[in-house]
Amino acid sequence: MRFNLHKLTLVSIIAAISAVGRIAFQFIPNFQPTTAIIIIASYFLGPLSGVLLAIVSTYLSNLVLGIGLWSIWQMFAWAMISLLSSLLKKINLKKTLPILIIIGVFAGFFYGAVFAFVNLLITNKFWPYYLAGLTFDLNHAISNVIFIVILYKPMTRLFANISIL
């Protein structure tokens, strides 16, 4: 696995764009491009870059939105989503976009489930927390689909034009 200064710079720039996108859409509950960007970038850049992207995106956006213990779980959830997305590259899919859309829908609900699991560890209650958050998870899943459809072609062109991959 090759990781050089050029790739680190690329991941940093994508993380900054992801963080700015998350901050820009903060007024719409669970509607943000971060998950979609992590899914697409992880697919093309691989697991190490995807996890780094997830961690840096979370940290940068939370500098503005607020850092707390939840930041660790956000990093974990997005890192797991990035690992899943990067594994798809190994399968060598013919129709990438529909699969990334399915991952986007799954990721919206998985992200909420991570926080419901954390609630289970703290309060010993999973289902009330998870069910109360389903509308937020649905918003997250819908935003993932919208942003994956919008960002897939430009990001595909970006990664095709970069020789460091």
Q: Average pLDDT across each block of 10 residues of the chain; the chain has 165 residues. List them in order.
A: 80 98 96 98 95 98 96 97 92 85 97 95 94 97 98 94 65
Closest of 115, 150, 139 to residue 26, by C-alpha: 139
The pLDDT of residue 44 is 93
What pLDDT is stored for residue 164 in this prediction?
54
Q: What pLDDT sits at residue 5? A: 87
Phi and psi angles of residue 92, each rounded to the nearest 5 degrees, phi first: 60, 65
Residue 24, sorted as left (phi over 0), alpha (psi -120 to 50) or beta, turns out to be alpha
- Contact between 164 and 138 (Cβ < 8 Å): no
- Cα–Cα–Cα angle for 113, 122, 56, nearest 5°? 55
3-class secondary structure, 71 = helix
Report the predicted TM-score, pTM, of the whole model to 2 decimal places: 0.94
Q: Which fold has domain 5-160?
A: Arp2/3 complex 21 kDa subunit ARPC3 (1.10.1760)
CA 78 to chain centroid, in Å, comes to 5
- Long-range contacts of residues 66-75, Cβ cutoff 8 Å, at least 24 apart: 70/115, 73/114, 73/115, 73/118
Q: Report the C-alpha gap between 164 and 159 in whole angstroms.
A: 9
Kindly give, in sequence order, each residue whose CB lies less than 8 Å from that of residue 153, ignoring residues fewer than 6 positions away: none
pLDDT, position 95: 86
Amino acid type, 15: A
